[in-house]
Amino acid sequence: MADVDDKLKKIEEDLKNRPTNAMLSQMRQDLETLIDEKIQIIEKSVKSLEKDFELHQKEIEEMKKSLDVLREAQEKLDKKIDIIARINMRLEKVLSRLKAVEEDIGMEESIDVSKIPPSILQLVYQYTLDDAINALKSFVGTQDTEVIINEILMDVRSKTSGTELFKYKDGKIVTTDIVKAIDKKLISPKQVHLTYVEILNKIREYVPGYKPKNFKALLRVKGQEYTIENTTQNRVRIEMIERNISSLKSTIASQENALREDMLFLRKDLKKEVEKKINDLNEELENIISRIEGLHKDINTLMENIASIAPYVERYRVELMNKVLDSMAIDGNTIEEIANINSLPTNIAMEIMDVLISTDQVVKYEDKFYPLTKIENKIMDIIGDKGASFSNIKKEMKMDKELLNHILVNLIDKGKIEERKHGKGKKYIRR
């Protein structure tokens, strides 16, 4: 018998330290989670690499689209160059057919200045006014010229608008603001021309015999110069654009080649990395499977051992619960008291209480546990053959009213006692 007790104690210790089914299940879940995490990491890496590959492909497509746009722009530019060339040819033919303008045609000749580009008007105004002021300087001197011009501008300003567009600066009348004013429609070309004519007529009053330059002839000459200058500038700009397009084509081609090479290297690296990760995963999976197989063997061995000791364990469990029940007081015990009395860990004592409660051997009320069998036996003794009222039972048991009522109802349900009216109260008798 002593050997059996020693074995039971050893089994008890082993049971405290053995892995439970919950632990084994948790281990299996942890292994499955680890495998899932590894697979997710590989999938994320593959997706990331695929996304990078797609981004590079999109960049190549965008560059190809940009190259197509540049090609279309080049074609449009070539067409515009042809158009400009044809216009220049027509302009030269028209100008060659224009009759020579007589030198004696005055600047007052009727001209529709609203049809003349403001930039050409500004050039002619500047040229003719410079000529008039040079004539005035040669007649009265530089110092007097400045005084006369300021007086003229003041006088014209009081008679007509637009004088602010003709400013005397550094010995000449500057007309640089005329184009902006006309383009912004702050003043009409006719109003500007009237102001110009008024200023020029005032200057002629101080220079006897001065004959202004032929305005209409100058319009044609300056128009030719302006057209030729703009055409030259346009050609220079076109040549620069062509050079930039050519350079951009070369850059795009080199970048496309470099990107193509990068994509080849990227594919190779991607393939190597994926293969390496798959190999690593396979090795890790093999290790995990090997560990699981070993764990299955351990589990089977453990289950065999458990099966062999199950009868002893069940007997020990019954004895332990009976021991705990015997140690409990009628007036209740806390879980700590039960654990201390029986030298058990608190969690083991709680598990035992849960079993006893589920089998109606113990009732829990507030923070204490009560042995039902002991309490019911004592209540049955109090009731005796004559019966007893609720107040008498409560007085004898020294128990809370709600708990006592619960136990009495339980005895009634079990068919051990019955409840009868007794005056204003209740009386319980045996059945």
How does pLDDT run across 99-128, given as a tens digit for each residue?
Answer: 443 343 344 446 788 888 888 989 998 999
Eight-state DSSP code of residue 114: G
CA angle 312, 313, 318 (to 5 degrees): 100
End-to-end CA distance of the chain: 43
- pLDDT for 345 beyond 90: yes
Cα(75)–Cα(102) distance, integer angstroms: 45
Q: How do residues 208-241 score in pLDDT, each as one tens digit? A: 888 888 787 787 776 666 665 555 555 556 556 6
The percent of the chain in helix, strand and coil, each rounded to the nearest 5, is 75, 5, 15
What residue ranges of the chain are covered by domains with CATH 1.10.287.1490?
18-101+217-309
Q: Which residue in this structure is represented by tokens 């500038």?
A: 233
Cα(325)–Cα(376) distance, integer angstroms: 14
- pLDDT for 42 beyond 50: yes
Pick the closest to residue 222 from 134, 133, 122 (CA basis).
122
Which residue type occupies 171? G
- Cβ-in-10-Å burial (0-12, 13-18, 19+) of 309 comes to middle
pTM above 0.95, yes or no: no
Distance of CA 82 to the CA centre of its chain: 50
- Rounded to an integer, the average pLDDT of 10-35 is 67
Contact partners, residue 163, CB within 8 Å, separation at least 6? 153, 156, 157, 195, 199
- pLDDT for 23 beyond 70: no
Record: fold of 18-101+217-309: Helix Hairpins (1.10.287)
Cα(9)–Cα(311) distance, integer angstroms: 14
Alpha-carbon distances of 297 from 78, 290, 300, 306, rounded to whole Å: 84, 11, 5, 14
Q: What confidence tier does 7 reach under pLDDT thresholds 50, 70, 90?
A: low
Residue 300 pLDDT:
78
Long-range contacts from 70-73, C-beta under 8 angstroms, 24+ separation = 70/245, 70/248, 70/249, 73/245
What residue ranges of the chain are covered by domains with CATH 1.10.10.10?
328-430
Pick the closest to residue 372 from 346, 342, 395, 399 (CA basis).
399
CATH number belonging to domain 328-430: 1.10.10.10
How is residue 166 written in tokens?
Answer: 């003709």
Classify residue 339 as left (phi > 0), alpha (psi -120 to 50) or beta: alpha
| Least confidently predicted of 50-54, 147-151, 172-176, 178-182 | 50-54
Distance of CA 293 to the CA centre of its chain: 46
Cα(146)–Cα(149) distance, integer angstroms: 5
How is residue 107 written in tokens?
Answer: 């600047």
Residue 39 pLDDT:
78
